[in-house]
């Protein structure tokens, strides 16, 4: 399922959300420019569960402190499909969450949800030497917050089956199906230190963090407009 747009109109210009999307793309373009140096860049700035689990306060030359990779890793991506998928979800759902929280609160929420997602991945694969990267955990937090804030919204959804089908799904159903898929994949990956190349537990952890933290970060005077 691929979201196209939702039925919620943001009341304010989502400057932070657009900035996050822009920064992710700028970092990705920088990655593309590195050529053979990309592997070294990833090893320095991505989050390695085994390293964080054993030396969280460690320092490395020309790199952030080990614990800092919980944040730097969420701005790295492994390919076009990876970044386009994450940024599409952030584009569709993030503007409304920012509208409900305000700019500074939304930025803080995004970073905290991303760090919580990384922590969940470390907890489930503390012995993994495989670098973890991507905005998926933070974006999952945005989805968790969106579900709480706008459960009655509708999501225009593209379902690429035998023919291309576009339908409107309730946000509860769209996000519920999405989370169920993450959860089942996460259960199936238990015991696999590589997680099949996808940090499923980061998705799960970020989503749960979003559900829990949204009540802390939302503005009390927020307003929303739905169009169907």
What are the tens digits of pLDDT across the range 164-176? 788 899 999 999 9
213: domain CATH number is 1.20.1540.10
CA distance 184 to 178: 10
pLDDT in tens, 107-145: 999 999 999 999 999 988 888 888 889 999 999 999 999
Under a CB-based contact definition with an 8 Å cutoff, are residues 14 and 95 in contact? yes
pLDDT in tens, 177-216: 999 999 998 888 776 555 456 788 899 999 999 999 999 9
**In total, how many domains does the chain have?**
1
Under a CB-based contact definition with an 8 Å cutoff, are residues 107 and 152 in contact? no
Q: What 8-state DSSP symbol labels residue 61?
A: T
Under a CB-based contact definition with an 8 Å cutoff, are residues 161 and 7 in contact? no
Residues paired with residue 169 on neighbouring β-strands, in sequence order: 155
pLDDT in tens, 60-107: 666 778 888 899 999 999 999 999 999 999 999 999 999 999 999 999
Q: What 8-state DSSP symbol labels residue 46?
A: S
Residue range(s) defining the domain that contains residue 79: 2-226
- C-alpha dist (Å) from residue 139 to 62, 90, 112, 204, 205: 28, 6, 11, 11, 11
pTM: 0.89
Phi, psi of 132, deg, nearest 5: -110, 135
CA distance 122 to 117: 9
Where in the chain does DSSP place strands (E)?
2-6, 8-9, 154-160, 164-170, 225-226
């Amino acid at each position: 399922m691929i979201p196209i747009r939702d039925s919620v109109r943001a009341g304010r210009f989502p400057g932070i959300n657009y900035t996050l999307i822009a920064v992710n793309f700028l970092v990705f373009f920088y990655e593309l420019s590195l050529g053979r140096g990309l592997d070294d860049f990833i090893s320095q700035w991505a989050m390695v569960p085994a390293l964080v689990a054993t030396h969280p306060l460690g320092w490395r030359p020309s790199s952030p402190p080990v614990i800092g990779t919980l944040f730097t890793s969420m701005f790295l991506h492994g390919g076009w499909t990876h970044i386009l998928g994450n940024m599409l979800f952030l584009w569709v759902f993030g503007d409304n969450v920012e509208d409900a929280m305000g700019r500074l609160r939304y930025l803080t929420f995004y970073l905290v949800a991303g760090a919580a997602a990384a922590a969940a991945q470390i907890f489930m694969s503390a012995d993994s030497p495989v670098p973890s990267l991507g905005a998926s955990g933070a974006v999952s937090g945005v989805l968790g917050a969106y579900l709480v804030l706008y459960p009655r919204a509708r999501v225009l959804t593209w379902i690429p089956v035998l023919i291309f089908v576009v339908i409107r799904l309730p946000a509860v159903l769209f996000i519920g199906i999405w989370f169920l898929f993450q959860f089942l994949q996460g259960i199936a990956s238990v015991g696999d230190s590589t997680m099949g190349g996808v940090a499923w537990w980061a998705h799960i952890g970020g989503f749960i963090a979003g559900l829990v933290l949204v009540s802390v970060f939302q503005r009390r005077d927020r307003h929303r407009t739905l169009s169907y």
